[in-house]
Amino acid sequence: MTRATFAQRVVAWQREHGRHDLPWQNTRDPYRIWLSEVMLQQTQVATVLPYYQRFLASYPDVAALAAASVDDVLAHWSGLGYYRRAHHLHAAARQVMSEHGGVFPRDSRSLVALSGIGRSTAAAIASFASGERGAILDGNVKRVVARHRAVEGHPSTPAVLAQLWRAAESLLPDRDDDMPAYTQGVMDLGATVCLPRNPGCLFCPVANDCVARIDGRIDAIPAPKPLRTRPHRAVRLLLIEYDERILLEHRPPTGVWGGLWSLPEVSLDTDPRSEALRRFAIDADEPESLPEIRHGFTHFELTLHPQRLRVRRVANACVDECVRWLAIEDALVLGLPSPIRKLLRELAQPDQRGIGAAHARRSSGRRASASG
């Protein structure tokens, strides 16, 4: 009897054991598929689910997303991380409107020309939307292919990546009709069975001819990423309060937290009061130090040192499109970096001194007046 191919076994396993109830499944709509694929880059399914639902509620189609402001898109994305994805998402939506008449493309050649869509993402969208044959290589699939074919080395190495692409292409099913189930299946295998540690080889449909398993090298393939000490950066945050509002500054469109609203940053050796006066024409009291905040990025570690400045006088109200005075509850609806959002939420609590306490006092006063 002829042995089933790798693809045939993956397809059969996916149809019986794979994931079928995720909100972006069971659709051929390339817009919804694209949105999920971008959100799932370097982000777990459980984290993506609520963001995906909220995004679709606000932007049900590519025209709605293209018509939105990038500020609104970033506000919906806030907390999901890797914010360049949101910028690319918005730019790609506008490309679809201008270059494709608002019709989202379904073929990988057109998809890969859109902002932020690489080879693997384009192939995944085309596979789910139209059954196009094409290999994918997200992080989980790289691990499945590397182990099954015993591809040595770390997948980020160009030579290793090229070898993985060749192997992934050789494993594709013959039938276009099998492509959606195969693409989902190989993703599911990597996400739920072929785990980085303690993989479930007993439940894997392709374990019998997995070279890494046969050779006892599951833990060695793929090779771990070379250890590299991440550099550390430290900055001072200015939490400037005036008339029960805080000052927020719009960050540049590129770089860390690009396009988000945040608290102004200064170097550790800069005097906060002098900088507030120079940049915003603000005369403030002596700063109060708040607990430091540690935040990790892919390539470096960041320590934030918040300094609270209560303003005595504002010379010109800081009229600038890149600066806003907002109550905390209004600030929290903007696109904010997650550590800044967490800090502001903590400050909004009634037991906090300053803005949160003042807000609680105002609310209590209104309740007392109403009851009296």
Q: Is the peptide bond before 291 cis (omega within 30 degrees of 0)?
A: no
**At residue 11, what are phi and psi to the nearest 5 degrees?**
-65, -45
**Cβ atoms of 190 and 184 closer than 8 Å:** no
CA distances in angstroms from 41 to 38, 57, 267, listed in the order given: 5, 21, 32
| Active-site residue list | 37
- For residues 85 and 99, give the distance between their C-alpha atoms in angstroms, rounded to a whole number: 20
- For residues 66 and 93, give the distance between their C-alpha atoms in angstroms, rounded to a whole number: 5
- For residues 103 and 36, give the distance between their C-alpha atoms in angstroms, rounded to a whole number: 18
Neighbours of 58 (CB within 10 A): 13
**At residue 198, what are phi and psi to the nearest 5 degrees?**
50, 55
Q: Which helix (H) or strand (E) holds 247?
A: strand 245-250
Instruction: Tell the burial category of 289 from Cβ atoms under 10 Å away from its Cβ (0-12, 13-18, 19+).
Output: exposed
Q: Name the residue with tokens 């007392």.
A: 368
Q: Name the residue with tokens 């540049």.
A: 252
Q: Name the residue with tokens 């029960």.
A: 244
Neighbours of 174 (CB within 10 A): 10
HSE-up of 5 (CA within 13 Å, CB side)?
11
Strands 232-242 and 301-314: parallel
Q: Name the residue with tokens 């709509």.
A: 29
- For residues 65 and 86, give the distance between their C-alpha atoms in angstroms, rounded to a whole number: 11
Q: Name the residue with tokens 């994305």.
A: 77
- For residues 112 and 132, give the distance between their C-alpha atoms in angstroms, rounded to a whole number: 14
- For residues 125 and 120, give the distance between their C-alpha atoms in angstroms, rounded to a whole number: 9
